[in-house]
């Protein structure tokens, strides 16, 4: 099938108002890229591929090519289709393309058209994923150092911040960012959130890591939708192809929707992490154990360029879904809904998806004698749940001391 025909389907789907929404009103107006400031301070030059801007709607655009997310979409499509084809054959019938949706909420979706499948991302999905990636990487690192009893230090060896204060501030910034996004559909001061989280305290690796995390989150979203296509979830018409009144329709789907979502998550994780990365990880872990944390080889671990980095990005994306679930429903959806595995009849709760993914370490293909320690990630996830809107600094400190047996 021709991509040109699928493109025509896309234009028809958008209509005039959709085209206007997708193309945007005006190009980004900011002159510089604020991420460059952090990179230069950390000793990096020309390292910032993506735009950190005072305007939320511009965050996540390519730094050199501002005005829309189309170039980002092209990159995601190339990476995700290649990753999917390495694991599974794509369906022979119908073309597949990634594109921008005209919707204003968060999310990706896949739509069958006359000539193939469109995988669609809404514009704010890019912006919130980018901002969240920066904040998640910052807060995860702050939490990890706190639990290791380590302190970020300046060149003269002096402590730069109280580790507890850093963990608290970074989590507050992350949580309040997501809350503001859910309530208003935007974030008024992205730069303020990044500054509040103290992204500036991280070494250069994490400027690279945050951008890799952003790309990997987008790739996961695309691969999840490609999973629905590859796993036959878009072929349900055979079961319902009856021209009957809606009141008479009985949908006997072959597989419950939440189970299909779990299958699409598994497909996406396997494709994103890729195959054959176990030996490299094993060797890198050996180096770390021998004290080689600062070597150029081991830098690959910290910058997110390994299968472990991709796995961590997927887990952090699931945590975003968990926060979405809990803030949208106003309760601990993990406890309330995990048994039923559903929030609304179609999707498992975010916490359920996170836990399933944490239990999928097999995708890392580590030797049986080696296990990846997911403890720091669990600690980070637990910290994020201390919502600063309901927990004061003193209360969080108290909870932290209790949970770590420090009383």
CA angle 172, 173, 174 (to 5 degrees): 90
Classified as helix, coil or strand, 298 is helix
- Quick one: CA torsion of 138, 144, 150, 155, rounded to 10 degrees? -30
For other proteins, how many residues bind (rule: CB under 8 A)? 46
* Residue 139 near residue 380, CB atoms below 8 Å: yes
* Options 76, 110, 271, 388; binder of other proteins; rule CB under 8 A: 110
On the CB side of 278, CA atoms within 13 Å amount to 13
Q: Does 340 bind other proteins (CB under 8 A)?
A: no
Question: Residue 200 carries which DSSP code?
Answer: G
* Residue 221 near residue 108, CB atoms below 8 Å: yes
Q: Does 153 bind other proteins (CB under 8 A)?
A: no
Q: Does 390 bind other proteins (CB under 8 A)?
A: no
Sign of CA dihedral 6, 11, 14, 20: positive
Of 35-43, 68-76, 197-205, 241-249, the window that binds other proteins (rule: CB under 8 A) is 241-249
Residue whose CB is less far from other proteins, 340 or 402: 340
Q: Does 112 bind other proteins (CB under 8 A)?
A: yes
Q: Does 262 bind other proteins (CB under 8 A)?
A: no
The Cα-based distances of 145 to 90, 149, 319 in angstroms read 42, 6, 20
CB of 53 to other proteins, least distance (A): 25
What is the C-alpha to C-alpha distance for residues 302 and 293, in angstroms, rounded to an integer? Answer: 9
Residue whose CB is less far from other proteins, 108 or 194: 108
Q: Does 185 bind other proteins (CB under 8 A)?
A: no
Of 57-65, 169-177, 242-250, 392-400, the window that binds other proteins (rule: CB under 8 A) is 242-250
What is the C-alpha to C-alpha distance for residues 133 and 304, in angstroms, rounded to an integer? Answer: 12
* Options 97, 108, 137, 272; binder of other proteins; rule CB under 8 A: 108
Q: Does 102 bind other proteins (CB under 8 A)?
A: yes
Contact residues: other proteins, CB under 8 A: 9, 12-13, 15, 18, 102-103, 105-112, 114, 221, 224-225, 228, 233-237, 239-249, 251, 253, 257, 321, 324, 328, 343-344, 346-347
């Amino acid at each position: 099938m021709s991509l040109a025909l699928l493109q025509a389907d896309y234009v028809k789907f958008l209509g005039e108002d959709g085209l206007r929404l997708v193309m945007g009103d005006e190009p980004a107006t900011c002159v510089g890229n604020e991420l460059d400031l952090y990179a230069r301070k950390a000793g990096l030059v020309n390292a910032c591929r993506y735009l950190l801007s005072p305007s939320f709607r511009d965050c996540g655009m390519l730094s050199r090519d501002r005005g829309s997310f189309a170039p980002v979409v092209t990159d995601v499509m190339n990476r995700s289709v290649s990753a999917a084809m390495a694991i599974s054959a794509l369906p022979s019938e119908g073309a597949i393309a990634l594109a921008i949706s005209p919707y204003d909420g968060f999310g990706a979706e896949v739509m069958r058209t006359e000539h193939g499948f469109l995988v669609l991302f809404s514009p704010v999905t890019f912006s919130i994923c980018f901002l969240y990636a920066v904040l998640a990487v910052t807060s995860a690192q702050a939490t990890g150092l706190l639990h290791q009893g380590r302190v970020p230090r300046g060149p003269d060896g002096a402590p730069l911040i109280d580790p507890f204060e850093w963990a608290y501030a970074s989590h507050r910034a992350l949580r309040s960012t997501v809350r503001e996004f859910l309530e208003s559909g935007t974030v008024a001061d992205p730069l303020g959130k990044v500054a509040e989280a103290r992204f500036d305290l991280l070494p250069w690796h994490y400027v690279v890591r945050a951008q890799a995390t952003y790309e990997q989150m987008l790739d996961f979203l695309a691969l999840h939708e490609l999973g629905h296509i590859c796993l036959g979830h878009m072929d349900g018409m055979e079961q319902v192809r009856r021209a009957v009144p809606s009141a008479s329709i009985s949908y006997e789907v072959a597989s419950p929707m939440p189970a299909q979502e779990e299958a699409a998550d598994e497909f996406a994780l396997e494709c994103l992490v890729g195959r054959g990365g176990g030996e490299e990880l094993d060797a890198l872990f050996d180096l770390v154990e021998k004290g080689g944390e600062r070597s150029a080889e081991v830098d690959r671990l910290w910058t997110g360029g390994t299968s472990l980095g991709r796995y961590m990005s997927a887990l952090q994306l699931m945590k975003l879904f968990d926060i979405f679930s809990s803030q949208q429903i106003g309760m601990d959806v993990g406890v309330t809904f995990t048994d039923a595995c559903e929030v609304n009849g179609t999707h498992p709760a975010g916490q359920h998806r996170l836990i399933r993914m944490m239990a999928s370490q097999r995708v890392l293909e580590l030797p049986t004698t080696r296990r990846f320690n997911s403890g720091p990630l669990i600690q980070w996830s637990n910290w994020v749940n201390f919502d600063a809107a309901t927990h004061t600094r003193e209360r969080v400190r108290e909870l932290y001391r209790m949970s770590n047996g420090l009383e």
